Amino acid sequence: MKYNSFNPTQKILMGPGPSNIDPRVMESMSKNIIGHLDPEFIELMNEIKNLLRYAFQTKNELTFPLSAPGSAGMETCFVNLVEPGDKVIVCINGVFGGRMKENVERCGGYPIIIEDKWGTPIDLNKVEIALKQNPDTKILAFVHAETSTGVCSDAMELSNLAKSYDCLTIMDTVTSLAGIPIHLDEWKIDAVYSGSQKCLSCPPGLSPLSFSENALTVVKNRKTKVQSWFMDLSLVMQYWQGGSSRAYHHTAPINAMYALYESLRILNEEGLENSWKRHEAVHLELKKGLENLGFSFLVDEKSRLPQLNAILLPDKIKSNEAEIRARLLREYNLEIGAGLGALSGKIWRIGLMGYGASLNNVKTCINALSEII
C-alpha cells in the first residue's frame, strides 16, 4: 500500500491551543540536529533558561523546559512536592483544577477542595477559611488562567495567603505565560508550569517549569522516593543544572528546543509588557466585534483573560453550535473551541494567543461569523 506525504491545510487557529506558529519559529526547527550533550546544545540550554527566567520574571536557578507537554509539567510539580498523607488545598473553578486534584490523589496526598462556579475567579475568603481550618496544609494549588473558562484568578493574593499560613504554592500558567502579567519572584510562587503551544506560539510538547529555593529544599528533604523516574527533579537537575559537563538523563527533543529558543527570542525582542498590551488590545477589538453580533462574555470584565475568550451562545444558535464551528473550519479554515464539561454547548472559546493575537485574525473571525450566523 502506498502512503502519500502528509500536507495539512493551513488553518487559522483561534481555539484554546495550539496557536499558530511564527514563521521564524517554524524555520528554526529545520536547523541541523546536534547531540543533546553537545557543547553547542548545552550553551543553548543555558540561554533558554535565561530567557525563561525573563518570561516568568524570576531569578530561580531551576527554571527549564520539561521535555513533555504542560500536563506532564503539572505532574512534575505534584510528584516532587507531594508525599503520602500531605494535605493540599486545591482550587477548582474549571477543568484544570480538577486535574490538580487527580494529581494529589495519585501521589497519596489528601486534597482539600475549594470549588467556585465555572467562569468566576477563585474566592480568596474560601481559601483563607480552608487554611485556618487546616493549619497543617503543605501546599496551595491553583490555576492562574483557567483555559476551560477564560477566567483569571488573583495569583498574588493567593500566594500571600499561602505564605501567611506557611504553605508552598503550585501555580498553573499554561495559558497565562506571555499573555498576561506573571511575576514569580514578586508573588513568591514556589512551583509553576506552563506549555509551549499557547502564548509562546511554539509546537506542543514542552513545558516550561520554575521552582523556588523553598520548593527545592522540600524536594531534597523528601522522606519517600519520587514516584516518577522521568520527572524526579533530583535526576533532572543533573542534566539542566550541571556546568559544561551534564549528566545524561534523557535525549532532549533538540529541534523542539530550537523552536522554544526562537519563540523566547521573539518575546524578548517585543518585550513582555508589549506582549501583554498587544493581547489586551486585540481582545478589545474582538470584544467589540462579538458584541455587535449579539454575543456576551461568560467572565466579568475585571477577571477576563484577553487571550482566551469564553463567549456565551445565544439561544438561537445553541442547538447547532457544533455545525457552525464545523462550517468555520470547513469553509474558512478557522478553528475556534467548544465549551468543556458543564459549559459544553453553552460557550465557545476563542483564543488570541502569541503570534495569533493579531487584528487580522480578529477581522477574519468576526467577518466569518457574521456571514454564517
In terms of domains, do 162 and 280 share one? no
In terms of domains, do 232 and 347 share one? no
pLDDT at 244: 65
> Are the beta carbons of 273 and 281 closer than 8 angstroms?
no
Rounded-to-integer distance, Cα 19 and Cα 16, Å: 8
356 CB-near residues (< 8 Å, 6+ apart):
12, 13, 14, 19, 20, 201
Whether this model's pTM surpasses 0.85: yes
pLDDT at 35: 94
Please report whether residue 288 resides in a domain: yes
In terms of domains, do 134 and 205 share one? yes
Please report whether residue 3 resides in a domain: no
> Are the beta carbons of 140 and 92 closer than 8 angstroms?
no
In terms of domains, do 218 and 325 share one? no
In terms of domains, do 292 and 146 share one? no
Which of 112, 106, 60 lies closest to 82, judged by CA? 106
In terms of domains, do 288 and 308 share one? yes
Q: Which domain holds residue 350?
A: 12-17+271-372
Task: Give strand ranges (E) for 110-206.
Answer: 110-115, 139-143, 145-146, 151-152, 168-172, 191-193
Number of domains in the chain: 2
pLDDT at 356: 97
Rounded-to-integer distance, Cα 351 and Cα 16, Å: 5
In terms of domains, do 253 and 285 share one? no
pLDDT at 246: 82
Tens-digit pLDDT string for the chain (373 aa): 999 999 999 999 999 999 999 999 999 999 999 999 999 999 999 999 999 999 999 999 999 999 999 999 999 999 999 999 999 999 999 999 999 999 999 999 999 999 999 999 999 999 999 999 999 999 999 999 999 999 999 999 999 999 999 999 999 999 999 999 999 999 999 999 999 999 999 999 999 999 999 999 999 999 999 999 999 999 999 999 876 678 889 999 999 999 999 999 999 999 999 999 999 999 999 999 999 999 999 999 999 999 999 999 999 999 999 999 999 999 999 999 999 999 999 999 999 999 999 999 999 999 999 999 8
pLDDT at 292: 97
Please report whether residue 7 resides in a domain: no
Rounded-to-integer distance, Cα 373 and Cα 91, Å: 37
pLDDT at 62: 97
CATH of the domain at 201: 3.40.640.10
Among 242, 268, 294, residue at a domain's last position? 268
In terms of domains, do 346 and 300 share one? yes
In terms of domains, do 328 and 263 share one? no
In terms of domains, do 284 and 198 share one? no
In terms of domains, do 242 and 289 share one? no
